[in-house]
């Protein structure tokens, strides 16, 4: 493994440049983009690790390809020794005496994908200017990869001449005293920063083995091949920290909870070592203190042993442990992790890709799964799988004077429980190959005298059925060794929709079933077809409707919370799925669904797409569809059952300067509602909800949609108003101000203003239904320009928390500086009539959105209406019900913003879906409730009736269409004076 990839700010980078010694002559600066990972997929240390492993293990280069990497948040990651040539472009890499310095920008900057802007663009320009000053280079020494090869890198959305023009003021400032970059919310203190600079200088002098590089090596040619690895890091585990990046305090906090093993023995190498003395300390000191604390609470000591899957190397195993230790302890569960350093999936993935690609990056797109299975067998992957299983067995075995590390833990556990009889509860959790580990550890512990395990939880178990029957099945049942067994696994269709290593188009369990065991089609415990096809297993788990000794939770479940919930959709996702982890905790604590626990807060990011899905999403489909449509041609819409339903939910509590309390809980409510409605939901929470991440995820959802799709964007967090910089906010109730939502990094000026969201929504293909639920202040106009206030704001009352950040002069200036790094936006066309989307806002644009009792008040009311049933409701009817839910004297007034035809559209249904027959009564009731409707309301009612009649044999199809055309073409006029109602009289 490399030394840690140092992440430094631009100011710290300037300090490094003052002291760095470079013997190689730098002649130019090469600029690239990664494409993969893009902004949404970026996972900090994990992404750098993935890139390094791809370059060194798959491409056989001596080090990572690039000298510097600049991330979406504007930070710089040091990489390769600057005295060594990069793997930049064929024939342009130079040599050890002279050549280029290579910069990679995290993102996909081709048209329709990520945008190089804000902090990232500012850092890129600042780094290039400083390097050119240091090495006495001209502005034109900046070279795009596209000029050296026939590809779009660093992205065809970046204009070279414009970048040179923007570079000029940066260079001019450096001619005077260097302006230190303003401190970010995450800046280290002075002493830490000084140490960081010293460590970075040491990193830059490290030697990565043989420093020779192929002069024809090119990083970009290999990034697509690396994409599956990076996607797995983002999707299978949302851990964003690697072991090398753990602080000393974090490492120390892990020590009482971690046992690190290698080939069955205590690990004496790597980033973490474990000795027998460490295990002795866990039982004699840490568990003794935990037992005392449990006694004071009148509880037993609940001791949980977790074994991660055999898909993780040491770094990932440590990161998984570090991430969830505090959560287990908050739930009064003491965790002990077995990290056993297998790293199998990475190795399998590399070998499989080498076996099937034969140097062609797209060959795997055409090869069949059976051919990949055969390639895996020829590559001796089954032998590796057998070796990993042997590692699990050796850990809990003893022979010829040798005692495995896990067996030593089992022996100490038995002694501890005997000394504290009746005061300790034992539980075990295993993910994937972790089930194999526990099939040896639990029998060993029982053999040595440990009491029965109260519960065993196996997530996507990768163990053979015959091993399960031999080692665990006989122990099931109260008093037999394992009181309760729960298996969490995917149903067959999800297993088939998963992928392994980005090459094999089924889950890892299917690869084991077909290829990794010595005999093909060896039954595996986690596969539905194996469970249902074995009469003994079917009876054991009650699949035959009889009594059972174990329970299976099939993902995905209808409920997202409770004892029987799991929402994982990939093999690697279970141990970071909030629903699954919450279910396990409830079962260990013996809590019912309605009883509270500290819910698991996964560091969720939108699930990374497979290689096939990425290739589709990265195309600007919305623009392609419009280009292909003939003028005035009818849009081909999907029916209700065919519609793709996707949602993006954003919730931010952990603002550095203005924390909130209910936004993440809001997202949990919306996830439940939307998944119940059939939506595929992606979420960005807290630190992951940066401006770049929100923009990237929202844009991808919009541009990859097709006519007939239904989309939702939900946001809970702060809102604000900042000075309008392009002159499009001259009217309305807030002249000269832009409405904005506040990403977690908003303090740097990275606000998401109405212009930004409107620009993305203008990419929406015709025929796509997009609905926004905005639980923040100033949410009414957040997707377009000022629309004007509806009524005077009600005076604010004390005692509640506002979702509003005032635009201080510092924030306004940071906003101005941030926008200067972006291309200027022309003024847009405002007004409700221009809206293509539907926006449900928490409050009027002159009001404040509130949260209380740990939830947003708008979210509680809106999701409550969903809970009462919304089938057949139009957007306008739903808005009325939400308003009514606020009660008679609301302090905020929820509001629907949308064009008239959108307000009459069915809520969250494909455009063009007719009201159901069940809704006919409501439509008639609406007509009867209006004694003197205006012409627009009457038109809307008649249009709804005509849609019903179109489906009825009472009216001919031709006549129906003619009538519909007639009404749709009628201009909307103000109601005659005689039809207008007297507002005060009706009130």
What tens digit of pLDDT does each residue of 509-534 get?
888 888 888 888 999 999 999 999 99
pLDDT (average), residues 561-568: 91
pLDDT at position 81: 85
Q: Round the average pLDDT of the chain to a whole number and report it.
A: 76
What tens digit of pLDDT does each residue of 575-596 get?
888 899 999 999 999 998 888 8
820 or 119: which leads in pLDDT: 119
Cα–Cα–Cα angle for 345, 524, 322, rounded to 5 degrees: 45
What tens digit of pLDDT does each residue of 159-213 get?
988 999 999 888 888 865 444 433 333 333 344 445 556 666 655 655 444 444 5
Q: Can you list the alpha helix ranges (DSSP code H) found in 795-856?
A: 809-820
DSSP assignment of 619-646 equals S-HHHHHHHHSPTTPPP----TTT--EE
Structure token pair of residue 17: 């440049």
Query: Is the pLDDT score of 396 beyond 90?
Result: yes
DSSP assignment of 640-707 equals TTT--EEEEEEE----SSS--SSHHHHHHHHHHHHHHTT-EEEEEEGGG--HHHHHHHHHHHHHT--T
Q: Which residue has the tokens 């905005």?
A: 774
Closest CA to 57 of 262, 270, 354, 316: 354
pLDDT at position 591: 92
- What crossing angle do the helices spanning 691-703 and 621-628 adopt, rounded to 10°? 30
- Please, which residues have CB within 8 angstroms of residue 944's CB and are 6 or more apart in sequence? 874, 904, 915, 923
Q: Which residue has the tokens 């300090």?
A: 15
Query: Is the pLDDT score of 497 beyond 70?
Result: yes
Strands (E), 526-584: 550-555
> DSSP 3-state assignment of 442?
helix
71 or 612: which leads in pLDDT: 71
CA 158 to chain centre: 26
CB 412 within 8 A of CB 283: yes
Between CA 749 and CA 756 the distance in angstroms is 14
Report which listed range, 183-197, 370-384, 814-828, 892-906, is most confident.
892-906
CA 851 to chain centre: 25
CB 685 within 8 A of CB 651: yes
Query: Is the pLDDT score of 506 beyond 70?
Result: yes
Query: Is the pLDDT score of 708 beyond 50?
Result: yes
- Please, which residues have CB within 8 angstroms of residue 687's CB and are 6 or more apart in sequence? 603, 654, 744
Name residue 99's beta-bridge partners: 26
- Reported as type and span, the H/E element at residue 294 is helix 287-296
pLDDT at position 588: 97
Residue percentage of the chain with pLDDT more than 70: 70
CB 779 within 8 A of CB 843: yes
CB 435 within 8 A of CB 458: yes
Under the banding of pLDDT at 50, 70 and 90, the label for residue 922 is: very low
pLDDT at position 912: 76
Under the banding of pLDDT at 50, 70 and 90, the label for residue 824 is: low
pLDDT (average), residues 444-467: 96
112 or 456: which leads in pLDDT: 456
Report which listed range, 17-31, 223-237, 440-454, 849-863, is most confident.
440-454
């Amino acid at each position: 493994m490399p030394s840690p990839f140092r992440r430094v700010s631009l100011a710290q980078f300037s300090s490094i440049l003052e002291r760095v010694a470079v013997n190689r002559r730098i002649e130019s600066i090469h600029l690239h983009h990664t494409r993969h990972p893009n902004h949404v997929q970026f996972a900090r240390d994990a992404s750098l690790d993935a890139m390094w492993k791809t370059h060194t293990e798959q491409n056989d280069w001596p080090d990572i390809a690039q000298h510097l990497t600049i991330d979406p948040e504007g930070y710089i990651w040091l990489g390769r020794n600057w005295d060594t040539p990069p793997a930049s472009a064929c024939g342009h890499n130079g040599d050890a005496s002279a050549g280029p310095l290579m910069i990679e920008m995290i993102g996909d900057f081709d048209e329709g994908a990520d945008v190089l802007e804000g902090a990232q663009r500012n850092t890129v320009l600042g780094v290039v200017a400083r390097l050119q000053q240091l090495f006495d280079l001209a502005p034109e020494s900046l070279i795009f990869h596209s000029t050296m090869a026939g590809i779009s890198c660093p992205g065809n959305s970046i204009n070279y001449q414009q970048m040179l023009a923007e570079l000029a003021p940066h260079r001019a400032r450096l001619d005077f005293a260097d302006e230190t970059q303003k401190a970010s919310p995450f800046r280290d203190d002075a002493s830490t920063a000084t140490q960081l600079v010293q460590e970075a200088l040491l990193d830059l002098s490290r030697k990565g083995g043989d420093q020779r590089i192929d002069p024809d090596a090119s990083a970009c040619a290999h990034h697509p091949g690396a994409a599956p690895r990076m996607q797995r890091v983002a999707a299978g585990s949302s851990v964003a920290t690697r072991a090398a990046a753990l602080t000393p305090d974090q490492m120390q906090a892990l020590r009482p909870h971690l046992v690190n093993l290698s080939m069955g023995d205590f690990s004496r190498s790597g980033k973490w070592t474990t000795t027998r003395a460490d295990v002795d300390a866990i039982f004699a000191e840490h568990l003794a203190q935990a037992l005392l604390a449990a006694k004071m609470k009148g509880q037993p000591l609940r001791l949980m042993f977790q074994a991660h899957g055999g898909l993780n190397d040491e770094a990932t195993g440590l990161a998984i442990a570090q991430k969830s230790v505090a959560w287990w302890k908050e739930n009064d569960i003491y965790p002990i992790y077995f990290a056993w350093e297998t790293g199998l999936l990475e190795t399998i993935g590399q070998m499989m890709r080498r076996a099937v690609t034969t140097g062609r990056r797209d060959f795997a797109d055409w090869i069949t799964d059976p051919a990949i299975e055969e390639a895996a067998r020829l590559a001796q992957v089954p032998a590796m799988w057998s070796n990993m299983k042997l590692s699990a067995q050796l850990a809990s075995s003893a022979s010829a004077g040798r005692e495995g590390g896990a067996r030593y833990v089992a022996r100490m556990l038995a002694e501890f429980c005997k000394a504290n009889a009746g005061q300790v509860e034992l539980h075990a959790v295993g993910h994937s190959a972790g089930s194999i580990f526990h099939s040896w550890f639990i029998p060993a512990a029982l053999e040595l005298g440990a009491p029965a395990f109260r519960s065993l939880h196996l997530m996507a178990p990768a163990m053979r059925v015959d091993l399960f029957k031999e080692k665990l099945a006989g122990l099931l049942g109260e008093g037999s060794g394992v009181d309760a067994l729960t298996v969490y696994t995917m149903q067959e269709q999800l297993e088939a929709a998963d992928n392994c290593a980005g090459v094999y188009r089924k889950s890892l369990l299917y690869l084991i079933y077909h290829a990794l065991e010595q005999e093909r089609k060896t039954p595996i415990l986690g596969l539905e077809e194996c469970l249902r096809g074995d009469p003994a297993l079917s009876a054991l788990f009650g699949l035959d409707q009889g009594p059972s000794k174990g329970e299976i939770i099939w993902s995905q479940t209808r409920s997202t919370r409770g004892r029987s919930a799991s929402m994982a959709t990939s093999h690697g996702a279970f141990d970071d799925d909030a629903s699954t982890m919450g279910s396990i905790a409830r079962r260990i604590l013996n809590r019912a669904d309605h009883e509270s626990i500290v819910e698991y807060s996964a560091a969720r990011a939108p699930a990374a797409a497979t290689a096939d899905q990425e290739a589709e999403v990265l195309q600007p489909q919305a623009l392609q569809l419009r280009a292909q449509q003939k003028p005035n041609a009818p849009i081909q819409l999907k029916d209700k059952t065919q519609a793709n339903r996707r949602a993006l939910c954003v919730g931010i509590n952990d603002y550095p300067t203005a924390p909130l309390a209910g936004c993440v809980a809001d997202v949990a409510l919306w996830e439940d509602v939307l998944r119940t409605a059939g939506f595929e939901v992606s979420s960005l929470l807290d630190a992951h909800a940066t401006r770049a991440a929100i923009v990237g995820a929202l844009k991808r959802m919009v541009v990859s949609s097709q006519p007939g799709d239904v989309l939702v964007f939900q946001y809970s967090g702060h809102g604000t108003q900042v000075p309008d910089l392009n002159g499009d906010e001259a009217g309305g109730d807030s002249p000269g101000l832009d409405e904005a939502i506040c990403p977690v990094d908003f303090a740097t000026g990275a606000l998401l203003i109405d212009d930004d969201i409107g620009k993305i929504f203008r990419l929406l293909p015709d025929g796509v239904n997009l609905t926004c639920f905005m639980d923040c202040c100033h949410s009414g106009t957040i997707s377009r320009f000022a629309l004007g206030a509806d009524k005077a704001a009600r005076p604010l009352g004390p005692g509640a928390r506002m979702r509003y950040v005032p635009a201080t002069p510092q924030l306004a200036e940071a906003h101005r500086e941030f926008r200067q790094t972006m291309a200027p936006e022309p003024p847009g066309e405002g007004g409700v009539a221009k809206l293509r989307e539907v926006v449900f806002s928490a409050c009027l644009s002159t009001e404040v959105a509130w949260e209380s009792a740990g939830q947003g008040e708008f979210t509680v009311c809106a999701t409550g209406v969903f809970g009462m049933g919304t089938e057949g409701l139009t957007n306008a009817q739903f808005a009325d019900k939400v308003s009514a839910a606020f009660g008679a004297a609301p302090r905020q007034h929820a509001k629907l913003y949308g064009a008239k035809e959108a307000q009459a559209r069915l809520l969250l249904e494909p455009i063009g879906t007719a009201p159901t027959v069940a809704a006919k009564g409501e439509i008639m009731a609406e007509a009867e409730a209006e004694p003197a409707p205006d012409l627009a309301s009457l038109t809307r009612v008649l249009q709804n009736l005509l849609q019903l009649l179109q489906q009825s044999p009472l009216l001919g199809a031709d006549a129906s269409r003619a009538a519909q055309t007639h009404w749709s073409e009628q201009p909307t006029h103000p109601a005659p004076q005689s039809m207008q109602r007297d507002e005060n009289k009706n009130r």
